[in-house]
Structure 1
């Protein structure tokens, strides 16, 4: 296994995807590529056989995962006994991940809150593990209504959730007892910790603290998240290998200073890490980091420190374990990004780092390799890449690693242990976080912060899959003129999509489903023009402050803009507004915020003049 674990991970992925995608041509092509690669690498017959067996095992695992991924409920059920899990409250909307105790099936409980009093009551009393009797109607989640749109139904199905339970009411009198299993207890502790940060920390620091301590980004302002995303540093707000490694190092250091034997500290760390994974939300990035560290600790203890588990063996083993126990996780962007970047850095870093002695040059190399490895996945899911990512990561990673993350962890512990007497450290952290957020906002709003390329087509995806490894290999070998080759290769690679769109002979008219109202995109052949007719919109009604949602749905921002970006459109030749009714131009402001427009056309006079003047 040693030295070949990466190939077993690749075989596992191939076997799983072959079945989950159900594409015969893809299946045969994948098997052919693997066999060809094995011949080129001159693998032994035994190794080829073992790789093929691995592929078959994971293909079978994928088959049974797909076969068992269905609901056992008919949809006619009305009454349920639910064990509640994570809760989210946004304005007058409450949603809770839950499990039906009778069938064991996951349900997403949705409830519209009636009053501020009820909102506060449920916020304080609904905890993970609570068992409640709930009456309601089962509804199927929404499917994608537009090309490249988010398919909420498919997203939930891959998490084994097939129904949304629209509750008639949610009364605490119908809830009794809480589950006593360890996971529920840890989740209750997590919810309490997040609530503590929300109420006790300064308002501007609390969202960042909740994200870095518990992996909870629900408190963060949407615009701030967008700023971090535009800079390519949103990964710093998710618990990952950086956070897990720093925390583990801090724990081992404290144990060493306290005189605790190294072996005992490693055992304690092994017990703590699974708890930490649940405590921080169990995202793919934290799961990967925790399992990798556990593998390395177990190997170290078993070998009594004489041998170390190689990082590539650790990450490959964890990758295969994750795929086996949760096959559909392969579709999650966080999972793909976490492992893709890890594999790229572990495989390429030793060669890339040769002759790089300064930490700045090493940091630039790591950041560039990570950006290259993650670019195809980011484009596939989010349609744009940050042009400031390299610079921003060089600034923000040291700041988060050595100042903000340790400071917030220390401040959180001191605040609890001292009974709230950690005001000074929180003030310093609040100022530091405020400066970081301000800088992110300024940098993210600069022209050219992001490059919109769109969702890669099949040929473009093939280019990325072959081109990115080729660039990393050129970099590793560092032969003559490798810098010129790298620059030329990157320009060629990231020019493919714009050129593909520019020389496409297809014209297209797309009628978007924006709910109320209309929105139509007309794209001319050979990239000669893109025209948007209306933007959709929705009527706004007066609501009380407690009812207002954090991110109000806007068809322009939430439907039209993502669709345009998925087509690689960052500039419209013309926006045509047929008339001033809110359901036709209400989303225009959201479009104008994100998309450059050469010309806006709308009729003079008529109704809706106020909205037209607003534009």
Structure 2
């Protein structure tokens, strides 16, 4: 076997993947040991096919190793404290331990990981609510390795409450953290410096060095650039502007900000270049580089991508020093295998995945692509090959995690990466180091870098704002990703064969003194090459088409009641046209008194940007046809600002009023700037979405259709109420309408019936007979309970009139308002109406088939 490390790494990774996709309770370290013994015995007794059998057993060994590692990753408190009710969610606990990470202070919150003392050491994520400015100043003095005693409230981390949503509990578990502890006020902690030396002191000194370098960068660069430069030079991203990060992310340029192999290459290149210019020998600068590499890994944060690049560099430097430099593929696979054995969870880390996939792709793909490009200049050909291969290899992983891709990404990388590599990063590093010794010298270099940054940021801002070049992709399946890589290799192979077939034999690539043999000389007919090329091209085109429009093939109607906390957000996809309706977008309500500016977070949680938009993108929502704002309270429109900024919206439907305030004003301004049509909805309006989906507006009333928009502070009573017909089902959406609005709707329907005015089509589920005494509203299948289940809505008359089979209440878990009110839930149960609640069950998804059957599933409790 010429490349055993290739086979070993691939089989080991396959074993991990098997354990992740199909976890079995039998997988353990014992399984690994038994299979290992069996595989050794079989290897020592060769028989036909023994290598294949041993390879399969090796996959089993890896699966057992991962399963055993995962099995022991549980709380050491689960069996003792938890079972005895002394350590349960929501219970006050007293802990003593050591701060194991840098302390992050953001506004009125301090966060760190605590490793408890004692035999069963446990890692806790501690969140401290800082009550005063003085407490914030005190928290800034806490450091890694400090000893802590605290009193707080323990709880389990939040699990994902929406399908495809971020699972915080799983995220922390992969960091071996199983509990969060909330501490109210710094007075509940006693923090002391370490009394004696321990290994964490090294990390503490490293943190202090990084903070010192970060402070130096802040002195050198303008405030709007300091966060960016700290992230790029030393991996400190706490002060990075979220909007700026989003712009770089849209163009596929986050690898510039994230410390990775690019930074390692530039660091080593500059170091070696400088030492060679100063006259040092080859052995001296190689040894110096090997000594500096671990320090660079530590100073830049030791993320999986930088560890991979750093270890690869160390191995390559040592091999070069010994004049035994091996091929890069062996090096990267050896590093990857070592990292996976050390920490199996690295395989689930996106930075690890992108780092290794792109590196392997560059090693294997760039030489092949280089031979295909008709560019004479080697430097330009190399640059274009690297950009093409990196984009192609990272594409499936990027859309799997981030669900977006810019058609300008290739051009942006070609133009901007050289600027950062050859100018911004080296000059920024020089400015940072010189500034430590002599600040004016550092500022002189930083001034030039800041000027260049200003031009680059302007260009990024311009390019990221071209919405026509942004594409949104739903999260692909693993089978699609496998087909993509297989099709890509097939297409590249076909192009290579075609190009080689056009060249004279004496000009084909040489290997030693022999012409490289190609499949053309091994029996593949020349006439079959165009067919292979055509098949590969067609395969990739169909695959991309299928992946981009994956959500359009279903013919079921879809209604998703998204859990956005204390608010409403409902996603509707029609069965035939696959049109998208989004009803409200939740919102984060915050109150801040004058003088409490110190409490502001650098990147405060905003439900639209953090939850709703990522969720919509994961579901492949590339455009919203109708964005309904039931009314303009913050818990219904707060998340829509991010939606309008990141996803195209054709029509915005609102209640014809305007609630004074900066948030509402900004929302409507953004809609107009984006070319979104504003539509007022009033009782009697009908919206035909497709052949089997239509909406009939019941409320609010407006006698004069062309009346100007009026100011309205109290919005609940102006909520849009409408009935939706989908297939043979009927749905009633109510916003936050109060009982007065409910009575008005019922009264209007009776008046129309008494007048013999059949303005409401029976298909919409609100038809009345022609005589008042026979007046009866057709039942609805699903009723969205108004105002999160508040007692001000859902009157008995309202429920009796519509006779819903199912009711959905959208309310935040543990909300301070007590929603839903017990009176409302009692009314529903008395009428034997099936109740679904987002506060208990998370997201509620309903699917409607062509027969009008409604299928329901919930994210949490069934």
Question: Would you say same fold, with TM above 0.5?
Answer: yes
Q: Which residue of 1 aligns with 2:418?
A: 398
User: CA contact under 8 A between 1:80 and 1:135: conserved in structure 2?
Assistant: no
Q: Which residue of 2 aligns with 1:214?
A: 234
Measure the CA separation in 1 of the matches of 2:124 and 2:265.
35
Is residue 320 from structure 1 mapped to residue 340 from structure 2 by the alignment? no
* 1:12-51 matched pairs, under 5 angstroms: 12-22=12-22, 48=52, 51=55
**Which of 592, 598, 605 matches 2:644?**
592
**Which of 608, 617, 624 matches 1:565?**
617
More helix per residue: 1 or 2? Answer: 1
Q: Which residue of 2 aligns with 1:41?
A: none
Is residue 148 from structure 1 mapped to residue 148 from structure 2 by the alignment? no
* 1:92-111 matched pairs, under 5 angstroms: 92-102=108-118, 103-111=120-128
The alpha-carbon distance between structure 1 residues 607 and 428, as it changes in their structure 2 partners (threshold 3 A), is closer
Q: Which residue of 2 aligns with 1:367?
A: 387
Higher RCO (Cα < 8 Å, 6 or more apart): 1
Measure the CA separation in 2 of the matches of 1:126 and 1:475.
59
Q: Which residue of 2 aligns with 1:36?
A: none
Deviation at 1:283, TM superposition (A): 1.1
The alpha-carbon distance between structure 1 residues 116 and 484, as it changes in their structure 2 partners (threshold 3 A), is farther
The alpha-carbon distance between structure 1 residues 605 and 353, as it changes in their structure 2 partners (threshold 3 A), is closer
Is residue 349 from structure 1 mapped to residue 366 from structure 2 by the alignment? yes
Answer with 1 or 2: which has the greater Rg.
Answer: 2
SS at match of 1:133: strand
* 1:164-203 matched pairs, under 5 angstroms: 164-170=180-186, 174-177=191-194, 180-181=198-199, 182-203=202-223
Q: Which residue of 2 aligns with 1:514?
A: 564
Residues 521-562 of structure 1: per-residue CA shift (max 9 Å, x gap) = 111224531111111123231252221112232222322211
Q: Which residue of 2 aligns with 1:293?
A: 313
Structure 1 runs not aligned, ≥5 long: 28-43
Q: Which residue of 2 aligns with 1:39?
A: none
SS at match of 1:127: coil
Measure the CA separation in 2 of the matches of 1:87 and 1:317.
34
The alpha-carbon distance between structure 1 residues 91 and 144, as it changes in their structure 2 partners (threshold 3 A), is same
Number of equivalenced pairs: 594
Q: Which residue of 2 aligns with 1:582?
A: 634
* 1:525-540 matched pairs, under 5 angstroms: 525-540=575-590
User: CA contact under 8 A between 2:569 and 2:582: conserved in structure 1?
Assistant: yes
Deviation at 1:458, TM superposition (A): 5.2
* 1:50-449 matched pairs, under 5 angstroms: 51-52=55-56, 54-73=58-77, 74=81, 76=87, 77-102=93-118, 103-123=120-140, 125-170=141-186, 174-177=191-194, 180-181=198-199, 182-301=202-321, 304-305=322-323, 307-354=324-371, 356=373, 357-358=376-377, 359-449=379-469
User: CA contact under 8 A between 1:134 and 1:170: conserved in structure 2?
Assistant: no
Measure the CA separation in 1 of the matches of 2:644 and 2:357.
34
User: CA contact under 8 A between 2:9 and 2:337: conserved in structure 1?
Assistant: yes
Deviation at 1:520, TM superposition (A): 0.7
Q: Which residue of 2 aligns with 1:9?
A: 9
The alpha-carbon distance between structure 1 residues 562 and 20, as it changes in their structure 2 partners (threshold 3 A), is same
Residues 590-613 of structure 1: per-residue CA shift (max 9 Å, x gap) = 221122222222223597898666
Measure the CA separation in 1 of the matches of 2:318 and 2:50.
28
Measure the CA separation in 1 of the matches of 2:623 and 2:280.
61
Residues 2-52 of structure 1: per-residue CA shift (max 9 Å, x gap) = 53422221111011121233257xx9xxxxxxxxxxxxxxxx967546644
User: CA contact under 8 A between 1:141 and 1:162: conserved in structure 2?
Assistant: yes
Measure the CA separation in 1 of the matches of 2:248 and 2:566.
32
Measure the CA separation in 1 of the matches of 2:471 and 2:356.
24
User: CA contact under 8 A between 1:5 and 1:312: conserved in structure 2?
Assistant: no
User: CA contact under 8 A between 1:2 and 1:313: conserved in structure 2?
Assistant: no
The alpha-carbon distance between structure 1 residues 588 and 20, as it changes in their structure 2 partners (threshold 3 A), is closer
**Which of 586, 604, 612 matches 2:656?**
604
User: CA contact under 8 A between 1:70 and 1:162: conserved in structure 2?
Assistant: yes
Measure the CA separation in 2 of the matches of 1:551 and 1:535.
19
RMSD: 2.7
Is residue 552 from structure 1 mapped to residue 604 from structure 2 by the alignment? yes
Measure the CA separation in 2 of the matches of 1:550 and 1:285.
26
User: CA contact under 8 A between 2:400 and 2:475: conserved in structure 1?
Assistant: yes
Q: Which residue of 1 aligns with 2:679?
A: none
Measure the CA separation in 2 of the matches of 1:314 and 1:591.
44
